[in-house]
Structure 1
Amino acid sequence: MERMNNMAKQKTNWRWVDWLYVFTIVSQLIYIGYYLEQMLTNPKDNGTLSFAVLQVVAGLVIATLPIIIERFMPYRFPEILYAVYLIFVYCSILLGTGLHFYSRLYYWDKFLHVLSAGLLAGLGYTVFNVLISKQLRQTISALLMSLFAATFGSTIGVLWEFYEFTGDSLLGLNMQRYMAKGHLLLGQAALLDTMGDLLADVLGSCLIAIIGYFCIKHNRDWLDKLTFTKK
Structure 2
Amino acid sequence: MAVLFVFYIIKDDSSKWQVALGGILVSALPLLLLRLKNNPFNIPQILGYFILLFCTTYLGSIALFYLHHKWWDSTLHLYKGAYVGIIAITLFKVMVPSQVRENVSRWVLFLFVLSLGSSASVLWEIYEFLGDLTFTHTMQRGGNTDTMYDLLFGLLGGLLIALYSLVRKQQV
Q: Same fold per TM (> 0.5)?
A: yes
What is residue 105 of structure 2 aligned with on the other side? 141
| Aligned partner of residue 103 in structure 2, secondary structure | coil
CA apart distance, 1:194: 0.7
Between the aligned partners of 2:130 and 2:68, the Cα distance in structure 1 is 26
The aligned amino acid for 2:109 is M
The answer to whether 1:84 aligns with 2:48 is yes
Moved more, 203-212 or 130-139: 130-139
What does 1:1-231 correspond to in 2, within 5 Å?
28=1, 32=4, 36=7, 46-48=11-13, 50-71=14-35, 73-79=36-42, 80-171=44-135, 173-177=137-141, 190-218=143-171, 220=172
CA RMSD, aligned part only?
2.6
1:78-104 residue CA offsets vs partner (Å, 9 max, x unmatched): 223212111101111121122221112
CA apart distance, 1:57: 4.3
Between the aligned partners of 1:130 and 1:39, the Cα distance in structure 2 is 42
TM-score of the two chains, using structure 1 as the length reference = 0.64
- The 1:54/1:170 distance shift into structure 2, 3 A limit, reads closer
1:16-46 residue CA offsets vs partner (Å, 9 max, x unmatched): xxxxxxxxxxxx56x739x83x987xxxxx3
1:112-169 residue CA offsets vs partner (Å, 9 max, x unmatched): 1111111111222223234321112123222220211001111221122223223333
Between the aligned partners of 1:68 and 1:149, the Cα distance in structure 2 is 24
- The 1:155/1:32 distance shift into structure 2, 3 A limit, reads closer
Cα contact 1:70–1:77 (8 A) shared by 2: no
Between the aligned partners of 1:147 and 1:107, the Cα distance in structure 2 is 28
Between the aligned partners of 1:32 and 1:134, the Cα distance in structure 2 is 44
CA apart distance, 1:192: 0.7
CA apart distance, 1:65: 2.1
- The 1:99/1:167 distance shift into structure 2, 3 A limit, reads closer
| Aligned partner of residue 107 in structure 1, secondary structure | helix
Query: What 5-or-longer segments of structure 2 have no aligned partner?
Result: none
Cα contact 1:154–1:201 (8 A) shared by 2: yes
Cα contact 1:114–1:203 (8 A) shared by 2: yes
Between the aligned partners of 1:84 and 1:172, the Cα distance in structure 2 is 27
1:60-88 residue CA offsets vs partner (Å, 9 max, x unmatched): 442232122342x3212422321211110
| Aligned partner of residue 76 in structure 1, secondary structure | coil
TM-score of the two chains, using structure 2 as the length reference = 0.83
